[in-house]
Amino acid sequence: MPPVVIPQQPVQNSQPVAAGSDAGASGATKILELKSGIAWRRKWMPAKFRGARFHVETAVRESGRRIVNHEFPKRDVPYAEDMGRRAREFTVRGYIIVYPRDVAGPGNELKKKNYLDARDALIKALEEDGPADLQLPLLGWLKVACTRYRVTEENRSGGYCVFDMSFTEFGQAPATGNRRSSPAGVYYNVNQLNQATIDRISSGLKAAYGAGQGQAT
Amino acid sequence: MIPSPDVREGARIANLAADLLLATSNDQKGRTGSDLRRACGDMKAHAENYIVENVIAEKLSNCFELARTTGATLSEFDHLRERLVVEATGSLVGMLIKNGSICFSLQQMSMVIVDTNFTSREDVEEVRNEVNVAFDQAEEVAADEMALTSYRALVSLHAAVTFHLYETARPLPQMLRFQFASPRPTLILSHRLYDTAARADQLREENKIVHPAFAPREGRALGF
């Protein structure tokens, strides 16, 4: 009876392939060396609101179109009327946590043994009047207003607090869109009307006679 | 050159506007007054030529601008506008110049309003009612003429003026009526109303009091 030959199984390498290097020779690949999936990391930005930094656990962006549905009697086909873009809303769960040691320097506001300073700074920023810039790690930057926030401290998680924050897109007030301040608006529209009137008279005369044609024969 | 009847009618309207503009500043002296007189005189002398050469619009606009810089008031421009509105026209040229002059009047009225210092909300309200009537008529005419650009410009200017008047009126005091038991000097009235006698002159001017020692029992005063 011939011996049973078991074909050699290919080696299952559970380690991902490193970018441009021999993974096997250098040992385990670090996650930052992954070729796939590194692009989003390059776009990562520290989260902050009104300059107050925080860590982000989840960040949700919501928007869409403001659709009004019209349904008509005796008709099968409805009409979804588009009334414009819905205001963008952000729901963010952030946290601030103690750091084992104080790290000095700009951009290291969260790397402190005393996390209360960063927490209070964020609370102050959230309660301050007016719109502010919200920067989220991967959802970009927008001028928003904070509609509500909740900060949670738990006894069993000392040195750690959670912020649940809601923001809405600030946009721009209608009065500051195309409307100028009141005297400037009047001056601007006076010039517009002046030009329109001159054009109206000139084009009317031109259409009626053409230049130099308004003479009786 | 023998102008056609249409041109003659247009020139008649332009001459009427020039006459009314001259009437607004007959007491004006100096360079601005002479510029206005020269521009209006030029218009009256050469209106028919300007219509034929199609430069009447710029010339008329300049006359209105000069009238304002010489000191024509809101009511004078409004009177001019009302006078032109009732002027009958039967030709296209006449109608164009008449409606154009009305638009020029409205522009100058708007500029005068911007330069006016109001003292009470009632003053602003009065001007707003006056201006609304003027703009409504012009907008109606522009809509009937299907002059889209002019209509939009008129509506925009109307909105800008209304907004300006609203912004102006907001911080101003309201005008209130007062009534005392007997005639008193304006100094006493001022002291009783404002806790200071320093505003006696203001009361005298507002109520057109002949003699400040004998102010009438009833009158009007600013709310604060």
Distance in Å, alpha carbon of A207 to nearest chain B alpha carbon: 10
* Confidence (pLDDT) at A20: 47
**pLDDT higher at A154 or A215:** A154
Ranges of residues in chain B whose predicted pLDDT is under 70: 1-3, 25-28
B107: which 2 tokens?
A: 């522009």
* Confidence (pLDDT) at B175: 77
- Asked if the model's pLDDT at residue A87 lies above 90, the reply is yes
If you average pLDDT over every residue of chain A, what do you get?
Answer: 81
Burial of A155 (0-12, 13-18, 19+ CB in 10 A): exposed
CA A169 to chain centre: 9
Residue A158 Cα distances to A98, A111, A153, angstroms:
9, 16, 8
At CB < 8 A and 24+ separation, what contacts does B168-173 make?
Answer: B168/A182, B168/B118, B168/B124, B169/B118, B169/B121, B169/B124, B169/B125, B169/B128, B172/B118, B172/B119, B172/B120, B172/B121, B172/B124, B173/B120, B173/B121, B173/B222, B173/B223, B173/B224
Distance in Å, alpha carbon of B6 to nearest chain A alpha carbon: 8
pTM of the full structure? 0.55
In B, which residues are within 8 Å of A183 by CB distance?
114, 164
Kind of pairing between the strands at A65-70 and A79-85: antiparallel
The interface pTM score, or ipTM, of the predicted complex is: 0.82
> Which of B217, B121, B116 minimizes the C-alpha distance to B175?
B121
Angle between helices B148-169 and A182-208 (to 10 degrees): 160
* Confidence (pLDDT) at B174: 75
SS3 string, B155-175, reads HHHHHHHHHHHHHHHCCCCCE
Give the mean pLDDT of A154-178.
83
Q: How far apart are CA B55 and CA A19, in angstroms?
A: 75
Name which of B62, B97, B148, B150 to mutate to probe chain A: the one with the most chain A Cβ atoms within 10 A of its Cβ: B150
Across the interface, of A183, A199, A212, the residue whose CB is closest to B114 is A183
Instruction: State the pLDDT confidence band at A31, using cuts at 50, 70 and 90.
Output: low
- Asked if the model's pLDDT at residue A212 lies above 70, the reply is no
Residue B116 phi, psi (nearest 5): -85, 140
* Confidence (pLDDT) at A134: 93
- Asked if the model's pLDDT at residue A162 lies above 60, the reply is yes
Distance in Å, alpha carbon of B65 to nearest chain A alpha carbon: 11
Q: How far apart are CA B26 and CA B37, in angstroms?
A: 9
Burial of B49 (0-12, 13-18, 19+ CB in 10 A): middle
Beta carbon pairs, A and B, within 8 Å: 119
Give the mean pLDDT of A172-190.
74
> Which of B56, B105, B113 minimizes the C-alpha distance to B81?
B105
For the stretch B10-19, pLDDT in tens is 999 999 999 9
